[in-house]
Amino acid sequence: MTSSIGLKLIMAFSGVFLSLFALGHMLGNLQAYQGAEALDAYGALLHKEPALLWGVRLGLLGLVGMHIFAYLALTRRNNTARPKGYRQRKWRESSYASRSMTLTGPLLLAFIVYHILHLTTGTVHPDYEEGAVYHNLVTGLGGVNGLIYIAAMAMLAFHLWHGVWSMMLTLGLPEGRYGSLGRTVATIFTILVTVGFATVPLAVLTGVLHL
């Protein structure tokens, strides 16, 4: 926690677990296509052991905190090393995904907070019913809300694509910028997770999923 390499490792390891959680969460969401009974049963299963559920939630919160802490610490080091920006900047090697990490990160954090208040606690969901996961999903992802979720998945795609590849580099894997196994894995993983997530609000908006 006192060196740049250590901070990058914190970002990498926290990123590994958060990415795996995103994959698992996406697979759970896809049970919506099996109908209300299947999705509600999945939700009931998650709440069967409250201690375990809250342990996982607190663990995820800790990982998010570590990820943000490492990012802020690294940003401060970079700003200290070069307090004055370049007079002229030309992008040659960096991708838009890498340059937008400072934007997609805070926006995704804001979305996560909204998502929890919306579909986990029901605080900002006007038609929320405790335990009725399918009902809450279908009534909550229509209209503007559905578009917000799809836009959030577009931001997640940029963040994941660069983040997964950078994570592999930090962990010491020799993955080149172009045409490498790391890039391929990052691309496939990103498409799998974000498209899987985005299909659910899209299905609600198009009437495929309905009450």
The identity of residue 200, as a single letter, is V
pLDDT over threshold 60, residue 91: no
The identity of residue 109, as a single letter, is L
Q: Are 11 and 170 in contact (CB under 8 A)?
A: yes
Dihedral sign (CA 98, 99, 100, 105): positive
Question: Using CA atoms, how far apart are residues 35 and 11, in angstroms rounded to an integer?
Answer: 37
pLDDT for position 179: 65
pLDDT for position 40: 95
User: What is the crossing angle of helices 181-205 and 143-170, to 10°?
Assistant: 170
pLDDT for position 89: 54
Mean pLDDT (whole number) for 68-72: 90
SS3 labels along 4-58: HHHHHHHHHHHHHHHHHHHHHHHHHHHHHHHCHHHHHHHHHHHCCCHHHHHHHHH
Say which range, 36-40, 54-58, 158-162, has the weakest mean pLDDT: 158-162
Mean pLDDT (whole number) for 68-87: 76
The count of C-alpha atoms lying within 13 angstroms of the C-alpha of 39, restricted to the half-sphere facing its C-beta, is: 22
Which residue intervals of the chain are DSSP H helices? 4-29, 36-46, 50-81, 96-99, 101-115, 133-140, 143-170, 181-205
* Radius of gyration of the chain measured on its C-alpha atoms: 19
Which is higher by pLDDT, 11 or 200? 200
pLDDT over threshold 70, residue 70: yes
Largest Cα span, the chain: 60
pLDDT for position 189: 92
Write the pLDDT tens digit of every residue in 44-54: 998 898 898 89
The pTM of this model reads: 0.84
Write the pLDDT tens digit of every residue in 160-186: 888 888 877 777 766 666 667 778 888
Write the pLDDT tens digit of every residue in 92-138: 555 655 667 778 888 999 999 999 999 999 999 999 999 999 999 99
Q: Residues of the chain with pLDDT > 90: what percent? A: 56
